[in-house]
Amino acid sequence: MKPGRLAPLIAPGVALGLWSLGGAVVFLSVLGPRGAALRQAVFQALEATWMVMFLWWLGAAVLLGWLAQRARHRLIVAPQRLLGAMRIAAADETMDSVPDIAHTPETQALAQEIDRLLGQRRALASYMARLVADASRSVAEQRDQLAALMTELDHAVVVCNREGRILLYNGRMRALARRISGRGGGDSAGAELIGLGRSIHALIDKAALDHALDRVEARIARGADGSAAAAQFVTASDAGHLLRASVAPVRRTDFAEMGGEADDSDGSDPEALTGFLLMLDDITEDHERQTRRDRALQDMYERSRAAVANMQAALDMLEYPDLGAADHDRFLSVIRDEVAAMHRRLLADEEAAAQDIGSRWPLHDMLGTDLLAAAVRRLAATAGAPITTQPMAQDLWLLIDSFGLIGALDHLARRILALHPDPVLWLRLTPAGPRAHLDLGWVADGAALDPRDYSALPDEPMAQPVAGALSVREVVDRHGGEIWLERERDSFGGSGGGRFFRLLLPRATADTAPPESAIGSRPEFYDFGLFAAGHASADDNRKLSELAFTVFDCEMTGLDPAGGDEIIQIGALRIVNTRILRGETIDQLVDPQRSIPEAGIAIHHITPQMVRGQPAIAEVLPVFHRFAADSVLVGHNIAFDMRFLKLKEAATGLRFDHPLLDTLLLSSVLHPAEDSHSLEAVAARLGVEIGARHTALGDAIATAEVFVRMIPLLARQGIETLGQARAASDRSQFARLRY
Amino acid sequence: MTHTVLIADDEPNIVVSLEFLLKREGHRVLIARDGAEALAMIRAERPRLVLLDAMMPGLSGFDLCETLRSDPALAGTRIVMLTARSREADQARAMGAGADAFVAKPFSTRDLAARIRGLLA
């Protein structure tokens, strides 16, 4: 046995022996002279029996030691171990039993009870996790569906909270915003007026919007619901575009249905307006077209009146009985002349009107073979029999509303089947100059019906209006086309007695390709968390996880702005609610209007040729300033970039007085022991891969990813708000260095 | 009684009928194709009556009418405005410019001849 284990075992015995010995010494000494005989007798007895006495003591000491050990283990050690195990199990939710410890029967029973409770906790946790996962999946699906729906909408849609901060928008909204802000593909393209967390008032006049919202609230107060509460208005953008806007309310209850977390804790009205949905149409073109149409109509009236006046006057003259032959011919010629001119004008007006109708109805390019295939499928289902088609050119493109057209063909087929049982239906598509002939024909046995039975079919009301059109002719009219009934002359379709409806349709040409057919993929998402956000301005007391940030980086001609070095590239992107918005970026080369040193080109690879023709910094900075509005500027070693920006304040009239955060300083706060806080080193530490180093946007993206990963790490150090992050940065040793 | 009458219209097909009509009424007929030519001819020939098309290229009928009315030397000239626009605003404009009569196209030549006779009486 090791001395270390022996000592506690015999310690109680030694203590007891020493205590007994001490007692005997005290007893014998207090007897004084009277105890001399007794002492004599005791010493004599001990002399004879000390070995027995020692062994007795040793046995008692060991026994006592063992008992004390057992008692300690039972009463102190085992409960302590159980307590430690319980603490571990309490901290680790995945544990469903306490670790194996040296049990006593009591702690064993206690541990079993604890295991049972842990098992229940585990089951409850997994049940809760399942519920949360199901709910999250359902919410995610709904959000995805909503996002997909928004993408497909023909309208520009944006959802905002009550303050006008944008929570969601679709691709058409972004395209519209670009168009009306004059940034569609221009030199400064890439900067957006629209973006999550931004204010809609940059696009829509605040007063007009507030007025519409007041009307919406008044209608809700009167008990109006849904679309009945919506308000419409027309406003003009700064660039003169006419926008028709429809504002519909989003209430607390609507928001909860959208998948947001409706917070009822403040006890406010669940029907209260928490935001609004804004649908925008750019009606500038419509308005111009309408104006053109009105003018053309007015012009037509006037020309017709003049022409009728000329003919009327000439006819009046012809009525004079004594008119000479020469005068007679002259007045006849006036009338012929006017009739011919009127005919020419009518044809031109008709063509213009047809084009106008075509341009008003959304037609799209479609390959003729695709249209025929789709029509054959639909008609075969209607007729319950295969439809014959004739071979056709493979590259015949049409400009059509395929949904409406196939619906119209289906209606015709149904009516033909009703008039003539078991006919053989056929389809044919042939080019005809700038148009195409789409023929729906039939061959039927038995007595031929009077053509008049069929000829009215295009004009009769359809059982179900197709895409808003009430008759087949209306569908055809939308194409600026025509429809008529013809007799089949060749043998196509069997016997020669067949008839067909011919639809005259426009062909697609290179310049009729639909604009904006592809507006990017998904919209840049949505952030319903912003519903809960109150005012989104940067605030020292607000959490980093709730703020909007603009992360940016610049490439320069050199390192000395005061010495004439200039910015040659700006890259920026935004972070809202800790999410990096990759769709909202600036990636802009800038003409420095000076030479670029070779040494710099080796780093940033931006050559003088690349910046030639690019906008100057005076044009780019206002765009960047708008982009960064209401946000915290973030950069890596941001003081360097800020020196360049600050030097431009006087020239551009812009103030870059945003709150700033520097990922270099924050890195030194998080990892004070590290030597390097370069962007590469910080990114490597945080597991961020840098894509395109030393391009402004590439560095800005890396900085953004680094920053987003820093937010939870900072929170662990108790740095949660902007103010705390700024204070910690200021305290960092790097902040004392001058750049 | 024979008067000198000027037709100012850029539409030859109406001019030919009006010229025939007025000649049959026994008047001497002058023809101008636009406003500026009409103004020069009026100043030179002093016609008793002017048939003015409202919408001529260059100097319009309305403008010409106002110019004539602002010239005291031409105060006695009768002015008939012809127009293919029938809007009330045009009629009001013509009368405001000082026209004696306003005739909307199309019109009956008989009625027009009667109006002219009335104005020349």
Query: What's the average model confidence in pLDDT over A608-619?
Result: 88
Q: In angstroms, rounded to a whole number, what is the distance separating the alpha carbons of residues A278 and A167?
A: 11
Return the DSSP state at A544: G
What is the four-CA torsion angle of A142, A147, A148, A153, rounded to 10 degrees? 120
| Tokens describing residue A605 | 């690879």
Residue A117 lies in a domain: no
Q: Does residue A191 register a pLDDT over 60?
A: no
Closest-CA distance, A337 to chain B, in angstroms, reads 8
Check whether residue A430 and residue A576 sit in a common domain: no
Domain termination site, one of A316, A344, A361:
A361
Chain B residues close to A313, C-beta within 8 Å = 14, 17-18, 21, 106-107, 109
Q: Which of A147, A166, A158, A149 is nearest to A248 (CA)?
A: A158
Joined together, the tokens standing for residue A408 give 């119209």
DSSP lists the bridge partners of residue B101 as B80
Confidence of residue A736 (pLDDT cuts 50, 70, 90): very low
Whether A330 contacts chain B with CB within 8 A: yes
Task: Name which residue leads in pLDDT, A348 or A180.
Answer: A348
Residue A52 inside a domain? The answer is yes
The CA distance from A334 to the nearest CA of chain B, in Å, is: 6
**Side-chain-side CA neighbours of residue A391 (13 Å):** 0
- A261-271: per-residue pLDDT in tens? 544 445 556 56
A312 touches chain B (CB under 8 A): yes
Q: Which of A297, A298, A312 to probe the B interface (max B CBs under 10 A)?
A: A312
**Residue A254: per-residue pLDDT:** 59
Judge contact between B42 and B30, C-beta under 8 A.
Answer: no
pLDDT at A100 over 80: no
CB burial class (10 A; 0-12, 13-18, 19+) of residue B59?
middle
Segment of A174-188, A210-224, A320-334, A474-488 carrying the highest mean pLDDT: A320-334
Query: Phi/psi of residue A524, each to 5°?
Result: -70, 50
Of A302, A308, A317, the CB nearest to B85: A302
Tell me the nearest-neighbour CA distance from B73 into chain A, angstroms: 32
pLDDT band with cut points at 50, 70 and 90 for residue A256: low
As a whole number, mean pLDDT of residues A306-334 equals 91
**Calpha distance A9→A2 (Å, rounded):** 11
User: Of all helices (H) and strands (E), which one includes residue A545?
Assistant: none
Residue A452 domain-assigned (yes or no): yes
Q: What is the Cα–Cα distance from B60 to B83, expressed in whole angstroms? A: 11
Note whether B105 contacts A334, CB cutoff 8 Å. Answer: no
- Supply the pLDDT for residue B8: 95
Q: Average of pLDDT values for A589-602?
A: 85
A389, A276: one domain: no
At residue A536's C-alpha, the angle toward residues A533 and A537, to 5°, is 155
d(CA A398, CA A411): 21
For residues A256 and A314, state if they share a domain.
Answer: yes
d(CA B59, CA B65): 10
Helices (H), A73-184: 78-91, 105-152, 171-180
CB contact under 8 A, B14 and A308: no
pLDDT tens digits, one per residue of B8-53: 999 999 999 999 999 999 999 999 999 999 999 999 999 999 999 9
Mind telling me how many Å the CA of B75 is from chain A's nearest CA?
29
- Helix residue ranges per DSSP H, A636-678: 638-647, 649-652, 663-670
Six-digit token string for A318: 């012809």
Which of A308, A334, A337 comes nearest B17 by C-beta? Answer: A334
Residues A597, A484, single domain; the answer is: no
pLDDT category at A187 given cuts 50, 70, 90 is: very low
Which pLDDT score is estimated for A510?
45
Domain that holds residue B9: 4-120
| Chains A–B, number of C-beta pairs less than 8 Å apart | 61
Mean confidence (pLDDT) of chain A? 79
Q: In this structure, what CATH number is given to the domain that contains residue A401?
A: 3.30.565.10
With a cut of 70, say whether residue A531 has pLDDT above it: no
Please write the tens of the pLDDT for every residue from A374-385: 888 888 888 777
Q: At what angle do helices A722-731 and A663-670 cross, to 10 degrees?
A: 80
CB contact under 8 A, B105 and A320: no
Q: How far is it, in rounded angstroms, from Cα A607 to Cα A597? A: 9
Give me the pLDDT at residue A523, please. Answer: 37
Q: Does the beta carbon of A27 lie under 8 angstroms from any beta carbon of chain B?
A: no
Average pLDDT (A566-581) is: 90
pLDDT of residue A712: 87
**Residue A359: what pLDDT?**
61
Residue A424 lies in a domain: yes
Q: What is the mean pLDDT of residues A661-685?
A: 84
**Contact residues for A73 (Cβ-Cβ < 8 A; gap 6+):** A102, A104
pLDDT tens figures, A541-560 = 888 888 889 999 999 888 77
Q: Which of A73, A91, A109 is the last residue of a domain?
A: A91
> What is the SS3 assignment for A176?
helix
Q: Could you read off the pLDDT of A424-440 as tens digits, one per residue?
A: 888 999 888 888 999 99
Residues A317, B17: C-beta atoms closer than 8 Å: yes
Per the model's pLDDT, the better-predicted residue between A221 and A553 turns out to be: A553
* A224 three-class SS: coil
DSSP A591: B
Residue A355, pLDDT score: 67
Tally of CB atoms within 10 A around A564:
10
Assess if residue A528 is contained within a domain. no
pLDDT at A652: 82
Residue A518 pLDDT exceeds 60 = no
Together in a domain, A304 and A427? no
φ/ψ of B44, rounded to 5, equals -80, -40
Amino acid letter, residue B29: V
d(CA A433, CA A480): 15
pLDDT of residue A536: 39
Shared domain for A333 and A372, answered yes or no, is: no
**Would you state the structure tokens that stand for residue A50, as one six-digit string?**
């000390």
Instruction: Name the E strands within A591-723.
Output: 632-635, 660-662
At A189 the pLDDT is 41
Minimal C-alpha gap between A307 and chain B (Å):
8
What's the confidence (pLDDT) of residue A739? 33
Query: Is residue A188 predicted with pLDDT exceeding 70?
Result: no
Does residue A327 sit at the B interface (CB-CB below 8 Å)?
Answer: yes
For residue A346, is pLDDT > 80?
A: yes
Q: How would residue A514 be classed by pLDDT, with cut points 50, 70 and 90? A: very low
CA distance A370 to A617: 50
Shortest distance, CA B1 to any CA of chain A (angstroms): 21
Mean pLDDT within A565-570: 90
Nearest CB neighbour to B13, from listed A302, A305, A338: A338
Task: List CB contacts of A279: < 8 A, sequence separation 6 or more.
Answer: A155, A156, A157, A245, A246, A248
A317–B106 C-beta distance less than 8 A: no
Average pLDDT over residues A210-234: 82
Domains contained in chain B, number: 1
**A547 phi and psi, to 5 degrees?**
-90, 160
Per the listing, tokens 């590290």 go with A674
DSSP result, A339-395 = HHHHHHHHHHHHHHHHHHHHHHS--EEEEHHHHHHHHHHHHHHHHTS--EE----TT
Residues A282 and A386 in one domain: no
Lowest mean pLDDT among A203-212, A349-358, A394-403: A349-358
Q: Which pLDDT tens digit goes with each residue over A627-655?
A: 888 889 999 888 888 888 888 887 888 88
Quick check: bond before A659 cis, omega within 30? no
Written as one string, the DSSP assignment of chain B is: ---EEEEE-S-HHHHHHHHHHHHHTT-EEEEESSHHHHHHHHHHH--SEEEEESS-SSS-HHHHHHHHHT-GGGTT-EEEEEES---HHHHHHHHHTT-SEEEESS--HHHHHHHHHHHH-
Q: What is the pLDDT of residue A449?
A: 62
pLDDT score of A557: 87
Instruction: Closest CB to A306: pick one of B16, B18, B105.
Output: B105
Looking at residue A143, its pLDDT comes to: 72
Chain B within 8 Å of A305 (Cβ-Cβ)? yes
Q: What is the pLDDT of residues A102-154, one digit of tens each?
A: 578 888 888 888 889 988 888 898 899 999 998 888 887 777 777 777 766 77
Do A549 and A576 fall into the same domain? Answer: yes
Q: Which residues contact A183 (CB under 8 A, 6 or more apart)?
A: A189, A191, A192, A193, A623
* Gap from B18 CA to chain A (nearest CA, Å): 8
Determine, for residues B14 and A337 on separate chains, whether the beta-carbon distance falls below 8 Å: no
Place of tokens 């809960």: A532
Look at A316 and B20 and tell me if their CB atoms are within 8 Å: no
List the single best residue of A305, A333, A338 to mutate versus B (max B Cβ within 10 A): A305
A112 belongs to a structural domain: no
pLDDT-based confidence at A334, cuts 50/70/90? very high
8 Å CB contact of B105 and A327: no
User: Could you give the C-alpha distances from A666 to A149, A287, A540, A635, A660, in angstroms and in order?
Assistant: 41, 54, 16, 11, 11
B13 chain-A contacts, CB cut-off 8 A: 310, 314, 334, 337-338
CB-CB neighbors (< 8 A) of A308 in chain B: 105-106
Q: Is A332 on the interface with B (CB under 8 A)?
A: no
How near does any CA of chain A get to the CA of B17, in Å? Answer: 6
Spatial distance between the Cα atoms of A391 and A376, rounded to a whole number of angstroms: 13
Residue A333 lies in a domain: yes
Contact at CB, A309 and B84, closer than 8 angstroms? yes
Q: With an 8 Å Cβ cutoff, are A309 and B105 in contact?
A: yes
- For residue A519, pLDDT beyond 60: no
Q: Is residue A212 over pLDDT 50?
A: yes
Distance separating alpha carbons of residues A427 and A389, to the nearest angstrom? 5
For chain A, what percent of residues have pLDDT higher than 90? 11
Q: Which residue has the higher pLDDT, A730 or A332?
A: A332
Name which residue leads in pLDDT, A598 or A734: A598
Taking an 8 Å cut-off on Cβ atoms, the answer to whether A302 and B24 are in contact is: no
Q: How high is the pLDDT of residue B39? A: 93
Q: What pLDDT, on a 0 to 100 scale, did the predictor assign at position A494?
A: 46
CATH of the domain at B76: 3.40.50.2300
- B24: chain A residues, CB-CB within 8 Å: 320
Final residue of a structural domain among A51, A75, A91: A91
Range of the domain at A65: 3-91
pLDDT of A516 strictly over 50: no
In total, how many domains does chain A have?
A: 4
Note whether A492 and A546 are same-domain residues. Answer: no
Sheet holding A548-556: strands in order across?
A: A579-589, A567-576, A548-556, A632-635, A660-662
Stretch 103-122 of chain A: residues touching chain B, C-beta under 8 Å? none
As to burial, measured by CB atoms within 10 angstroms (0-12 exposed, 13-18 middle, 19+ buried), residue B80 is buried
pLDDT tens, A441-499? Answer: 888 766 566 666 777 888 888 877 766 677 888 888 888 788 888 877 654 444 445 78
List, as one string, the DSSP characters of A665-676.
HHHHHH-TT-S-
CB contact under 8 A, A338 and B85: no
Is residue A299 less than 8 Å (CB to CB) from chain B?
A: no
Q: Residues of A with catalytic annotation? A: 694
Give the nearest partner residue to B21 out of A301, A311, A317, using CB atoms.
Answer: A317
Give the torsion sign (CA, A621, A627, A632, A635). Answer: negative
Whether the per-residue pLDDT at A525 is higher than 90: the answer is: no
- Which residues partner with A432 through β-bridges? A435
Both A163 and A291 in a single domain? yes
Asked, for residue A135, whether it belongs to a domain, the answer is no
- In sequence order, the β-bridge partners of residue A550 are A574, A633
Verify that A610 and A678 share a domain, yes or no.
Answer: yes
Confidence of residue A190 (pLDDT cuts 50, 70, 90): very low
**Pairing outcome for strands A632-635 and A548-556:** parallel
Q: Report the half-sphere exposure of A483 (CA within 13 A, side-chain side).
A: 26
* Residue located via tokens 């600036």: A586
Q: Token digits for A64?
A: 């006592």
3-state secondary structure of A159: strand
Residue A371's pLDDT is 86
Residue A507 sits in the same domain as residue A565: no
pLDDT above 70: residue A511: no
* pLDDT over 70 percentage in chain B: 98
Q: Between chains, do B107 and A309 touch, taking CB under 8 Å as contact?
A: yes
Judging contacts by C-beta atoms under 8 Å, the chain B residues touching residue A302 are: 55, 84-85
Q: Which of these, A617, A618, A526, lies nearest to A576 by C-alpha position?
A: A526
Q: What is the mean pLDDT of residues A215-223?
A: 84
